[in-house]
Amino acid sequence: MLLQNPALHAGITSPVGALIGGTLRLVSQGNESALLLDDGQREALLRGVFEATYHAIHPTRTVFDTNRGWTGRLDLLASLYPDAKVICCVRHVPWILDSIERLVRRNRWELSKIFDFDPDGTVYSRAEGLTGRTGLVGFPLNALKQSMHSAQSGRLLLLPYDTLTREPARAMEAVYAFTGLTPFQHDFDNVVFDAAEFDARLGTPGLHTVARKVAWEERQTVLPPDLWSRYESASIWRDPKFNIRGVPAV
C-alpha cells in the first residue's frame, strides 16, 4: 500500500539492518582496530550505511525500512535520526504461525530456508523454531516487548492486522497522522506486490505475495488445538497490564 504513494519508499526487508549489525561488530572492542575509532567516527559510519543504501531515494522520498529488528535498536536509531518512528505491524501470534504453516504445506515440492531445509520437521518443531529467541517470530516479538518498555516507547505505533484488513482506510489515516506525512488516497482494491526471485531463493515461494484486494478473510486454523493454546497468550500488546507505557494501537 505504501508503494502506491510516490512520496514514499518501502519494500521487503532491506540489507540495512544486517549491515548495521555487521558494522557494529567491526567497530566494537571485539575488533582490535576499534581502538583507533572514537564514538563520533562510529556514529558517522553507521549513518553512512543508511545514506549509502538510500542515497538515490532519501532526498526526495520518505523511507520505510521494514527490518523487524529496529525495535531492538531504538536507542541507536533515535541517536542517528531523532525524528525516526516505528510502525509495528502486529498479529495474533497463533495466526502468524498458521499462515507460515499453510505456506510450507502449499510448497510441498521443496524445503524452506526458514527451517534450514529440514525434511523431517512437523508443525510442532516449526512453531518452536519460529518462536525461539532468534526465530522469525520470536526475535521480533522479544524486540517489540523490549521497545514497549523503553525510554523510546513514544516512537511506536501498533498496527494490528485485524484493523489493517477490516478498516484499511482508518489504518492508513492513522499511519499518516502518526508520521506527520501528507495524507494520500490509496486504492485498497488494487494492491500489487511480489518478490518472486527473493522468495524462490528462500525455498518459500509466495512468502511476500499479497492479495490484490485488502480484505478480511475468515478461515479455520490448521494448527492443532494444543499448539494454538500454547501461543494464545503470546500476543502481549493485547494485554493492558503489559502495555503500561500506553503505546497506541490503531
What is the domain-level CATH number for residue 213?
Answer: 3.40.50
Residue 236: phi and psi, rounded to 5, are -65, -25
Q: Is residue 221 part of a domain?
A: yes
Question: Measured between alpha carbons, how far apart are the two ends of the chain, in Å?
Answer: 17
Residue 78 has pLDDT above 90, yes or no: yes
Q: Is residue 134 part of a domain?
A: yes
Q: What is the DSSP letter of 31?
A: S
Q: What is the mean pLDDT of residues 65-90?
A: 94
Q: What share of the chain is helix, strand, coil (3-state, %, to 5)?
A: 50, 5, 45
Q: Is residue 26 part of a domain?
A: no
Burial of 215 (0-12, 13-18, 19+ CB in 10 A): exposed
Q: Is residue 32 part of a domain?
A: no
- Record the cell numbers describing residue 186, joined without a space: 490509496
Q: Is residue 227 part of a domain?
A: yes
Residue of higher predicted confidence among 123 and 192: 123
Q: Is residue 81 part of a domain?
A: yes
pLDDT digits (tens, 9 = 90+) for 209-233: 888 999 999 999 999 999 999 999 9
Query: What is the Cα–Cα distance from 75 to 88, expressed in whole angstroms?
Result: 16
Q: What is the mean pLDDT of residues 163-175?
A: 97
Q: Which residues pair with 88 in a beta bridge?
A: 158
pLDDT confidence of residue 55:
82
Residue of higher predicted confidence among 158 and 193: 158
What is the residue range of 168's domain?
68-238
pLDDT confidence of residue 29:
87
How many folded domains does the chain comprise? Answer: 1
